[in-house]
Structure 1
């Protein structure tokens, strides 16, 4: 699924008639419906998504083939993917999370700090979860211009200027 980008996640049922709660990872959250068909990691395909409202932290939607609360609840936590070629081209200073995972992270002096395992967002901005070269505990690096001045996708590396002590052993 390297040519697929995760654009949303199903968050369970909304009501009793098959509507779902839908978390969109798109810059404009409502555009998720523009990228159908969306597929799951298991290969299930959804050809139609209709946004019906907005709830607390998620949209409500009707998805083709889902008609009961039980069917909607069974999809809780399922990620939805769209083909990369259907998504917009991003400006130079924006990145799809999938493109950052696996990049090496170097400090401004060139020393290898670790590898990006995930990109997280708990509401206050993106964080890069970095697995350091030494140790098993990951480090959360703020994904800001100050802490990450350079992302070079072509060479597969990130240059970071982390807060002092963040990568201390």
Structure 2
């Protein structure tokens, strides 16, 4: 039976085929990357079972996974880009100040004074902690990022689908350089 999309959490994606035996390279997006394979079968976005992990091993930048479902190399390669979901109830309980990235995507963003600041497009971690990528900010072209810290993001309401931010103040050197260049 298919589950409503709200009950599913995106945890991994197939990055392509590995070898000739139908194994896949899988990129995990869970806090503990190997944990993605212990949450049960992977589902598609509608809740239909796609693949059940049988064994996996760490590879250079992903995992090499053999699934219980038989797969040829060609089938594994054609599955590239497939998003893998699990039911929300299969995941561990979160602390009050923890959030699944998939729950944050699309949330409206406002400043401390309630001014609209756009919406969350993505969450990135380049090694220094999570960054929220914000788009559709009034009077601003393109995307920008803010650290996902309690200081910079003091309030998150999944229920209200709203995030309140305290944007970083402009760095003095940047402001002086902008004024000197006439920007």
Could you state the TM-score of these two structures normalised by the residue count of structure 2?
Answer: 0.79
CA RMSD in angstroms, aligned pairs only: 2.4
Alignment of 1:63 with 2:67, yes or no, is yes
Tell me the alpha carbon deviations over residues 93-113 of structure 1, each in whole angstroms, 9 at most, x when there is no partner: 110112112222122222221
In structure 1, distance between residues paired with 2:146 and 2:124: 10
* Residue 130 of structure 1, aligned match among 131, 134, 137: 134
Q: Judge conservation of contact 2:26–2:63 (CA < 8 Å) in 1.
A: yes
Q: Judge conservation of contact 2:40–2:90 (CA < 8 Å) in 1.
A: no
Match of 1:96 in 2: 100
In structure 1, distance between residues paired with 2:31 and 2:138: 32
Alignment of 1:144 with 2:149, yes or no, is yes
Tell me the alpha carbon deviations over residues 125-160 of structure 1, each in whole angstroms, 9 at most, x when there is no partner: 322221213455222222223321221223322121
Runs of at least 5 residues in structure 2 that lack an aligned partner in the other structure: 172-183
In structure 2, distance between residues paired with 1:99 and 1:4: 10
Match of 2:161 in 1: 156
**Farther off after superposition, 83-92 or 125-134:** 125-134
In structure 2, distance between residues paired with 1:117 and 1:150: 18
Match of 1:41 in 2: 45
Structure with the bigger percentage of helix: 2
Could you state the TM-score of these two structures normalised by the residue count of structure 1?
Answer: 0.85
Tell me the alpha carbon deviations over residues 34-78 of structure 1, each in whole angstroms, 9 at most, x when there is no partner: 222211237652352033311112111101334322111111111
Runs of at least 5 residues in structure 1 that lack an aligned partner in the other structure: none
In structure 1, distance between residues paired with 2:144 and 2:70: 39
In structure 1, distance between residues paired with 2:141 and 2:87: 33
Q: Judge conservation of contact 1:30–1:51 (CA < 8 Å) in 2.
A: no
In structure 2, distance between residues paired with 1:136 and 1:3: 34
